[in-house]
Amino acid sequence: MVADRPCPHAARLGPGLARLGAEVARIVAALGRGADYVELAALQPADVLLDLYGEDIRARAFVTADDGAEMMLRPDFTVPIVGLHMETGRARGAYVYCGPVWRRQDGGSDRAREYLQAGVELFGADDPAAADAEALRRVLDALGEAPVDLVVGDLGLPLAVIDALDTTDARKAALRRHLWRPARFHVMLERYGARQGDVAAGRAGLIAAVAAGRAGALMAAAGAPVGARGEDEVLDRLERLRIEAATPPLDPAAVAGLEAVLGVAGPAPAALGRLREIARGLPGLAPAAARLDARLDAIAARGVEPGELRFEGSFGRTTLEYYDGFVFGAVARGRPDLPPIASGGRYDTLTAILGGGRGVPAVGGIVRPEALAALTEGAT
């Protein structure tokens, strides 16, 4: 049975509900300085999320149907707010919100299916580093004196290295797509690099047949088709396998550099120093490291000491897949029973996808009011 922690029913009844309402009002006020308050429908079109994330999203969302259209109970606010903002045609905008979201959980999990999410989304800032720092500052103000450990990262760093790899656009796209699946990403790096020869050798006969134009004959000899793929899809896949086998493997030094970037961890200033060292031998990384440097300066200008921030190169790789730059999270200190109390990050690419190619800079952050209340009540 999935429990409803950290959303105890008492918090939504009588005095508990009043306390929660006051906490939500405080959080929204801290997040939403100068922002428009927005409310969104609980049911959202499923096709948008399915187009973005593929069928994987079904394992995390509640899906239903209405009048022939698939719908989802919103698993998150950011995607529909991006859609709302891009429809306005404006470059700039700031939105604050609070409401329930729904996430499916594994059997036996003590995580909530439904919980409140408060957040802020900032669009169109001229200075991305300053906007990143502002989003973080607002979330920290909403957290107040809560005992949390803050972690930051930057998915723009590994993405910059991937974009600079000396390989095909198809491989770069695949690596970008699977960056948020760490185990699969590591297997892909090996398949494109150190194990490429073994993979190609195992398919040598098939690849030779495709190169000789005998793919259709092989399919005919295999008998009746099995599965949902059509003949054209199978032939396209076989041609891609042939191209893969002919593509040179990834440079081992570049692979090692990419893995080193993902492995950087420590106080943010020290992590920046390590990234600069790695950048000396890794094309594409230096500009991304410079953006991190500017962000740390902007964060310091807002009263947050960068030396108190822990940086992790892999942070943000298991969240929803729209973050493509600065990421951050706050974890309850000494409370492993609670989910992350806050999180956020930059998602410029998402705005271009939902804006039909017209993107704007965008960053946001969320706080879980019920989890925060459970943490602070336990600390008093």
Eight-class DSSP state of 251: P
Other beta carbons within 10 angstroms of residue 219's beta carbon come to 14
The confidence score (pLDDT) of residue 224 equals 65
Give every residue of the chain whose pLDDT is below 70, as ranges: 1-12, 54-55, 200-202, 204-206, 209-210, 212, 215, 218-232, 234-235, 320, 378-380
Cα end-to-end distance, the chain, whole Å: 30
Helical ranges in 39-107 per DSSP H:
46-53, 78-88
- The C-alpha atoms of residue 368 and residue 23 are separated, in whole angstroms, by 11
- The C-alpha atoms of residue 194 and residue 204 are separated, in whole angstroms, by 17
Q: Output the CA torsion 14→19→24→30 (10° steps).
A: 160
Q: What is the pTM of this model?
A: 0.86
Q: What are 272-293's pLDDT values in tens digits?
A: 999 999 999 998 999 999 999 9
Q: What are 53-88's pLDDT values in tens digits?
A: 766 777 778 888 888 888 999 989 999 999 999 999
- The C-alpha atoms of residue 23 and residue 261 are separated, in whole angstroms, by 39
Amino acid found at 125: A
Structure token digits, residue 360: 């704007």
The confidence score (pLDDT) of residue 54 equals 67
CATH topology of domain 2-145+364-379: BirA Bifunctional Protein; domain 2 (3.30.930)
The confidence score (pLDDT) of residue 380 equals 44
The confidence score (pLDDT) of residue 311 equals 98
Q: What are 140-173's pLDDT values in tens digits?
A: 999 999 999 999 999 999 999 999 999 999 999 9
- The C-alpha atoms of residue 345 and residue 351 are separated, in whole angstroms, by 13
The confidence score (pLDDT) of residue 65 equals 86
Eight-class DSSP state of 136: H
The confidence score (pLDDT) of residue 320 equals 64
Where do the structural domains in the chain lie, given as residue ranges? 2-145+364-379, 195-248
